[in-house]
Amino acid sequence: MAITTSNSNYVNISNLPKSQQVQDTDLLVIQTDNGTQTITFGDLNVVKTDIVGNATIFGNLTGNTAIFETVSAGGNVFALGFNANGNKGIYTGHGFYNKFTINGGLITSAQYVTGSYEYNDIKNNILPAVTAFQDTQYKRITDIYRDAIIPTNASTKDVILENFFIGYPGVVKSTCKPYHFYVTATERVSSCPWVDNVNNIAGAATNDLSFRINLGYIAPSNIIFRWRFLYTYPPYGG
């Protein structure tokens, strides 16, 4: 029988009321191989969003490329590598690194550089400042000792320490006095040996420390003396 306007109901879906949001229990009409059927929205296997576009996925999300404005991870993040601004994060072993390149919070290079900023700062600024401060607080001492021999038929022995003031730049040559020296003999002697002519020995160079050991009488045989030079640095004076 032919369909005519007299025996047909004409319904336009645009005239149906509009729903603001699809609920899980709402039915959708689908055409399948088994005919026209219905399915609830809750059973529809697609990514669903709410009315403002938010989506929640309860299973695994797999794909090749994903672009997000912001990513927040409440648990673990696993990846074989990360990139930031076209630069790939690096893999490094255990070691010490003091120079880094950081792109968008990701370290893309790490090196150890001798002469780095912190090295130069410690060497040129911090250590000299600490040393200069300590020099004002603590006593610094030069304490050296050697042996000298007054030979048979002699009463004195001139001692010259070459380049002494190069090795001990804190010792001021003009402040070296006889009382900085202590002399003892390795055997019994008939007088108390002493030191004089400090830095006034012929043949001594500008950077040499020189002095004379006096026995006070002619030595009947070689006599070995142990002398000691003890000098305190500023701020306590020589």
> What's the whole-model pTM score?
0.45
The pLDDT of residue 91 is: 82
Over the stretch 79-131, which tens digit does the pLDDT of each residue have?
A: 777 888 888 888 888 888 888 889 888 888 888 888 778 788 888 888 888 87
> pLDDT tier at 19 (50, 70, 90 boundaries)?
confident
- Distance of alpha carbon 215 from alpha carbon 155, whole angstroms: 5
Domains and CATH numbers, the chain: 82-138 (no CATH), 141-232 (2.40.30)
- Long-range contacts (CB closer than 8 Å, 24 or more residues apart) made by 189-193: 189/215, 189/223, 190/216, 190/217, 191/215, 191/216, 191/217, 192/216, 193/225
The pLDDT of residue 105 is: 84
